Chain A
Amino acid sequence: MGRVSNRYVLDVAQREFLTVLRTRMLLLLSAGFVLLLAGLSWLGSSGAYLALIYDLLTPVEVLVPVFAFAVGYRSILGDRERGELETLRTYPINSTRYVLGVYLGRAVAVLAVVLLGLLVAAVFVPLAESEQLSVIASHGTVDSPALYLRYVVLTAAFALVVLAVAVLVSAAARSTRSGLALATVAVLALVVGLDSTLIAALMGGAVSPGGVDVLLAVSPASAYRSLVFGLALAPAGLSVPTGPAVVTSTLGLVGWLVGALVLAAVLAWRS
């Protein structure tokens, strides 16, 4: 059944993708997301890719989870509520492949918007060219589009991870109301909750400052931030906070991605 059900995965993905395209609210939200990033870049008139990374870092850390959840939290839940899950189960497709298809379809949509937003934001950097002193020799600085590209890749990875969590929420929820509540809780947890817990644990003495290094990788937002610091900013010779090692952070993110999808697959078929 392998090849056939692989095709089904793409069928499901296509269906999910079209669902996103047909949901007017999501289209509006996507446009808003892109405009917001563009606006941030324009307002900051950073003039340098490094400066732009700094300017976008915190807003993107909040906006990406919100956007990914908006796209993802109704996915499986919608099928369940409309009773389509029952129909799907009669097809030759298992829950893993179904969840994978859902995830892929939504991921393409999320990534397309996130990448578009980040690229539009970058357009303002060369445009922000301020007055130049022609009599003074200028030279290349540590600033480079390559660093921004790294940031784009890392942000895309972060978006994939939070989308996986969104799909998990969608698989776990049993009603619109519980779905909304779960999604809200999850976004809050991702954006502030996990980090706040860590801070509290550190203040309460439950973890040692050394332990925080590793635990930071447990919070997707912190792991993502550490990776940006370590891979996009530190190479430019900037003194930035060094969080957990790149490997630990990457493992943290991959763990969330895989764990969330596996759990979603387990929960999806349960009725």
Chain B
Amino acid sequence: MRTVTLVGLVVVAVLLVAASGFTSAPAGEEQFSPVPFDQTLKSGLTGVDIQQAEEKDYAIPKGQVFYGQYQYVVGFYGTDSLVRGATQQRYTEQFGEPLGIYVTDYTGTNPTLTDGQYLRLSNSAAQTWTRAEDVYFVIETPARTPGGPTAVPFGDRDAAAAFAEEYDGEIVDWETLKERQPTTGNESADRLNAPTEQRQQWANESVERARETLDRPVSVTVGEDAETIEAAIEQAPPNTAVEIPAGRYTVDLNVSKSVTLSGAGNRTVLDGRGEGTVVRATAPRVGIESLRVTGVGDTELGSPSTDGETSWDKSIELVYGRGDAAIRLSEAPRSLVENVSVETSANGVIVHNSTGTVVRDIDLQGSDTWEEGSMGVLAMYSRMVVEDSTFDGGRDAVYTHYSNGLVVRDNRMQNMRYGVHQMYTSDALVLNNTIRQSNVGIILMTRPTGNAIVGNHLRGNDVGVITVGAASWMTENVAVDNDIGLSIGMSRSVVHNNTAVRNEVGVRSATLLPTNDVTGNDIVANDQPVKTDLGTLNIWTVGGRGNYWGPIPGIDRDGDGVVDRTYRPSDTVDRSAGDSIGARTLAQAPTLGGLRAFQRSVPGLRPSSIVDTAPLSEPVHPDRLDALNVSTEAR
């Protein structure tokens, strides 16, 4: 046989095999089967909400979505977040169209509402998963989850009707439920701006109100009208001040009325002699100002651990909250601690159940190594303000535990484990703090929402900021000389106008659900601009504006401030272009353009990388770069 016939036959055979591609239906029409919720990438609601529901045995309707271009199953807590995941463009662009959606089916579970209108299933074992298209959703009932109102899903029409009847609801199908979802304000243009102002305003008002305790008239002066501070407090009528002149006082104080302790600055020293907590306050509107506290007991009780019986957050409460402190405010709302200096190897100020309390202008000297120390300010169940203070050493400068809405601003923190450590805390504002030489500057844990981390300066830390959770803001921060500048583990959040300079890694993307708006950041002169963990392709451009990456290939031909070429900070050629003119010339090669023509397509199927389709030609904050002596010229 001739060679040409032989090769020809092989070619034809290969083509025939390839042509079988036309006969097999493309995937996507296959039926998916629902997986256990634990095995999905979970999204929606906060860690607190879910934990609360689990503790109290409230039911949360859930969904799971199989996206066409994303291999992992995405789980959603709550019907609102499920609808968002199924309809919002940011999800469908990233992961493709949802091919299969399953919803918890409450048929046979006999759901009822508790007094608080929470859902409870009498027979939760009967819960199954049903395709969203086959589910009847009961809406407009008072039913809610800890996160807000919810639709209640049933696979069976009669079960839905019974529930609707009992709780005065209405039955809709999946299509209608999707249409009813209001477009959230988050989608509007101003969502890039953190709600700094309104939170600042609350803080200003709280500070003003708490500082009214400074205006109290002096009723008793220690040493003149009374022998000891204890006696002076005993003697002082409520809403007056106790004056404590300079001197060293050995105390174990318990302030149980609304008075102000007013010292003479650092020369007034309250010494606890190493025995337990030095000052305890248990009345509203207590003022403690202008003094120094030393001799704090050293019981810090170590690290919380789970013994299997106590839940993690309880154990935190026991371990951290019961340790010794310089000042402990408990049930003391709207109190003030101002101009106080503290030396402690345990806690500084514990604020427990004391909303509206303000800690300001304190100077805290903690332990040399964080393992020996504890928290500077420990906020528990207290929406409070910590401002204008200095923290050096110890474990964490500000540790928050169930303190939604607290404000931490204008502080200086250094040489510790974490600067600001938020647990179970949403809607907080962390503003204009300077945090240096610590393990982590600011860290959010336990999947909170609505946090704003704004205008902080992070220098020389292992990691500047670590975030998790959703619907949060990380804006206007400056991260310099950290191992990792900013680490994004949030979803549906905003990362805007930050400056990351001279870090080993400028910005790390640690989120598996890349649904963040990352734009307007100056990410320059880092050893590595970005690093991606597990995940898929992220597009860091919003509304035609990306980030500033320093000297990069491409030109801004039309002068609109955007370089007319996609930049890939996680790509070797593009990354080297900042360091070498040769690489920049190479990066301009039409070849590269041709190769990359479609490389943003099907992001959910691609390995993790970062793409900026509209990199900025000028830095957003040139002043910051100048101040940091960062050249934006090509080397």
> Within 8 Å of chain B (Cβ to Cβ): is A199?
no
Chain B residues within an 8 Å CB radius of A236: 26-28, 68-69
Evaluate contact between A144 and B26: CB separation under 8 angstroms. Answer: yes
In-complex Cβ contact of A149 among B17, B40, B512, B605 (8 A): B17
In-complex Cβ contact of A143 among B8, B35, B605 (8 A): B605
Evaluate contact between B18 and A45: CB separation under 8 angstroms. Answer: no
> Within 8 Å of chain A (Cβ to Cβ): is B53?
no
- How far apart sit A32 and B556, CA to CA, in the bound complex (Å)? 35
> Within 8 Å of chain B (Cβ to Cβ): is A1?
no
Chain B residues within an 8 Å CB radius of A148: 21
Evaluate contact between A54 and B601: CB separation under 8 angstroms. Answer: yes
> Within 8 Å of chain B (Cβ to Cβ): is A209?
no
> Within 8 Å of chain A (Cβ to Cβ): is B249?
no
Residue interface mask A31-56, B partner, CB < 8 A = 1: 00000000010011111101100110
Chain A nearest CB, measured from B81 CB (Å): 18
> Within 8 Å of chain B (Cβ to Cβ): is A152?
yes
Residue interface mask B414-453, A partner, CB < 8 A = 1: 0000000000000000000000000000000000000000
Contacts A47-B607, A142-B27, A146-B24 given; does A55 touch B599 at CB 8 Å: yes
Residue interface mask B1-33, A partner, CB < 8 A = 1: 011110110110011011111101011101010
Chain A nearest CB, measured from B191 CB (Å): 25
> Within 8 Å of chain B (Cβ to Cβ): is A73?
no
> Within 8 Å of chain A (Cβ to Cβ): is B597?
yes
Contacts A62-B594, A140-B27 given; does A50 touch B18 at CB 8 Å: no
Evaluate contact between A13 and B68: CB separation under 8 angstroms. Answer: no
Evaluate contact between B69 and A142: CB separation under 8 angstroms. Answer: yes
**Residue on A nearest B600 in the bound complex, by CB:** A54
Residue interface mask A231-243, B partner, CB < 8 A = 1: 1000111100000
Evaluate contact between A153 and B601: CB separation under 8 angstroms. Answer: no
Residue interface mask B224-252, A partner, CB < 8 A = 1: 00000000000000000000000000000
> Within 8 Å of chain B (Cβ to Cβ): is A247?
no
Evaluate contact between B15 and A142: CB separation under 8 angstroms. Answer: no
Evaluate contact between B20 and A17: CB separation under 8 angstroms. Answer: no
Point out which of B18, B72, B512, B608 has the most chain A C-beta atoms below 10 A from its C-beta: B18
Chain A residues within an 8 Å CB radius of B67: 141
Evaluate contact between B602 and A231: CB separation under 8 angstroms. Answer: no
Chain A residues within an 8 Å CB radius of B512: 133
**Residue on A nearest B16 in the bound complex, by CB:** A153
**Residue on A nearest B9 in the bound complex, by CB:** A108
- How far apart sit A146 and B27, CA to CA, in the bound complex (Å)? 9
Contacts A58-B597, A112-B11 given; does A17 touch B69 at CB 8 Å: no
Residue interface mask A145-188, B partner, CB < 8 A = 1: 11111101100100000000000000000000000000000000
Point out which of A43, A147, A148, A236 has the most chain B C-beta atoms below 10 A from its C-beta: A236
Residue interface mask B303-318, A partner, CB < 8 A = 1: 0000000000000000
> Within 8 Å of chain B (Cβ to Cβ): is A57?
yes
In-complex Cβ contact of B3 among A14, A59, A115, A130 (8 A): A14
Chain A nearest CB, measured from B318 CB (Å): 30
**Residue on A nearest B95 in the bound complex, by CB:** A141
> Within 8 Å of chain A (Cβ to Cβ): is B126?
no
> Within 8 Å of chain B (Cβ to Cβ): is A28?
no
**Residue on B nearest A231 in the bound complex, by CB:** B22
Chain A residues within an 8 Å CB radius of B597: 54, 57-58
Evaluate contact between A133 and B607: CB separation under 8 angstroms. Answer: no
Evaluate contact between A137 and B73: CB separation under 8 angstroms. Answer: yes
Chain A residues within an 8 Å CB radius of B36: 137
Chain A residues within an 8 Å CB radius of B24: 144, 146
**SS class, residues of chain A in contact with chain B:** helix
- How far apart sit A18 and B7, CA to CA, in the bound complex (Å)? 11
Evaluate contact between A57 and B599: CB separation under 8 angstroms. Answer: no
> Within 8 Å of chain A (Cβ to Cβ): is B606?
yes
> Within 8 Å of chain B (Cβ to Cβ): is A214?
no
**Residue on B nearest A105 in the bound complex, by CB:** B4
Chain B residues within an 8 Å CB radius of A143: 27, 69, 602, 605
Chain B residues within an 8 Å CB radius of A145: 21
In-complex Cβ contact of B97 among A17, A54, A111, A237 (8 A): A237
- How far apart sit A109 and B598, CA to CA, in the bound complex (Å)? 29
Evaluate contact between B7 and A59: CB separation under 8 angstroms. Answer: no
Number of interface residues of B (CB under 8 A): 52
Which residues 189-238 of A have a CB within 8 angstroms of B?
Answer: 231, 235-238
Evaluate contact between B8 and A153: CB separation under 8 angstroms. Answer: no
Evaluate contact between B606 and A142: CB separation under 8 angstroms. Answer: no
Evaluate contact between B598 and A57: CB separation under 8 angstroms. Answer: yes
Chain B residues within an 8 Å CB radius of A115: 11, 14-15, 18
> Within 8 Å of chain A (Cβ to Cβ): is B44?
no
Contacts A14-B3, A237-B96 given; does A144 touch B15 at CB 8 Å: no
Chain B residues within an 8 Å CB radius of A10: 2, 4-5
Evaluate contact between B601 and A141: CB separation under 8 angstroms. Answer: no
> Within 8 Å of chain B (Cβ to Cβ): is A265?
no
Evaluate contact between B22 and A156: CB separation under 8 angstroms. Answer: no
> Within 8 Å of chain B (Cβ to Cβ): is A25?
no
Contacts A143-B69, A237-B96 given; does A153 touch B7 at CB 8 Å: no
Which residues 89-132 of B have a CB within 8 angstroms of A?
Answer: 96-97, 99
Contacts A62-B594, A153-B21 given; does A135 touch B534 at CB 8 Å: no
- How far apart sit A237 and B605, CA to CA, in the bound complex (Å)? 13
> Within 8 Å of chain A (Cβ to Cβ): is B39?
yes
Evaluate contact between A136 and B72: CB separation under 8 angstroms. Answer: yes
> Within 8 Å of chain A (Cβ to Cβ): is B71?
yes
Contacts A141-B27, A142-B69 given; does A55 touch B595 at CB 8 Å: yes
- How far apart sit A51 and B601, CA to CA, in the bound complex (Å)? 7
Chain B nearest CB, measured from A124 CB (Å): 12
> Within 8 Å of chain B (Cβ to Cβ): is A139?
yes
> Within 8 Å of chain A (Cβ to Cβ): is B628?
no
- How far apart sit A47 and B70, CA to CA, in the bound complex (Å)? 12
Contacts A18-B3, A112-B10 given; does A50 touch B605 at CB 8 Å: yes
List 7 extra interface pairs beyond A16-B4, A238-B602, CB under 8 A: A47-B607, A58-B597, A62-B594, A108-B4, A136-B72, A141-B27, A236-B26
* Across the A-B interface, the 10 shortest Cβ-Cβ residue pairs: A149-B21, A54-B598, A48-B605, A137-B35, A137-B39, A17-B4, A142-B68, A146-B21, A235-B26, A150-B21
List 19 A-B residue pairs with CB atoms under 8 Å apart, sorted by A's residue number.
Answer: A13-B8, A48-B602, A48-B606, A54-B602, A55-B595, A115-B11, A115-B15, A136-B73, A137-B35, A137-B73, A139-B73, A141-B69, A141-B70, A141-B604, A142-B99, A149-B20, A152-B15, A152-B18, A236-B28
Chain A residues engaging chain B, CB cutoff 8 angstroms: 10-11, 13-14, 16-18, 21, 40, 43-48, 50-51, 54-55, 57-59, 62, 104-105, 108-109, 111-112, 115, 119, 128, 130-131, 133, 135-150, 152-153, 156, 231, 235-238
